């Protein structure tokens, strides 16, 4: 499954370069790299959030000085899509209410679609069918 939208050309470039670098294109990698590439700040600090050599997230990056409210939301979503991670004692910050309250929400929905393609295919067929009937 390919992303249907990117925030900008740099987002798209980062996404495909990260997939090549990780040498893996499963749903976990597609979702995490899509999210990590949304903003310039996230792309600039991706190595603080994802360990390419060990193929794992780096949760210590959440407390980095460069993090803003939007990038923290973005990091939490990336980590949660990777392996269901939530911060101990701060699980409430990983709820849709907390995460989607920013301008990146449309891209967050796309990341969820990338992570769970098996659940989104039927919805996409239904949506297209409804769109075709309303034209």
Residue 79 lies inside a defined structural domain of this protein: yes
Residue-wise pLDDT for 13-46, tens only, equals 999 999 999 999 999 999 999 999 999 999 999 9
Residue-wise pLDDT for 87-124, tens only, equals 999 999 999 999 999 999 999 999 999 999 998 876 55
Residue 25 lies inside a defined structural domain of this protein: yes
Domain that holds residue 30: 9-133
Q: Write 12-15 long-range contacts (CB < 8 A, 24+).
A: 12/37, 14/43, 14/46
Residue 4 lies inside a defined structural domain of this protein: no
Residue 3 lies inside a defined structural domain of this protein: no
Q: How many domains does the chain have?
A: 1
Predicted TM-score of the model (pTM): 0.87
In degrees and rounded to multiples of 5, residue 130 shows phi and psi of -65, -45
């Amino acid at each position: 499954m390919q992303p249907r939208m990117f925030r900008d050309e740099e987002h798209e470039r980062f996404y495909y370069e990260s997939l090549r670098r990780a040498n893996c294109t499963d749903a976990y990698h597609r979702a995490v790299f899509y999210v990590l590439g949304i903003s310039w700040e996230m792309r600039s600090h991706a190595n603080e959030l994802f360990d390419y050599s060990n193929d794992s997230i780096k949760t210590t990056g959440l407390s980095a000085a460069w993090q803003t409210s939007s990038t923290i939301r973005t990091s939490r979503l990336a980590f949660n899509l990777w392996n269901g991670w939530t911060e101990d004692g701060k699980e409430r910050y990983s709820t849709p209410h907390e995460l989607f309250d920013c301008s990146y929400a449309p891209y967050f929905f796309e990341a969820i679609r990338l992570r769970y393609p098996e659940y989104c295919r039927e919805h996409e067929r239904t949506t297209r069918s409804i769109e075709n009937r309303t034209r």
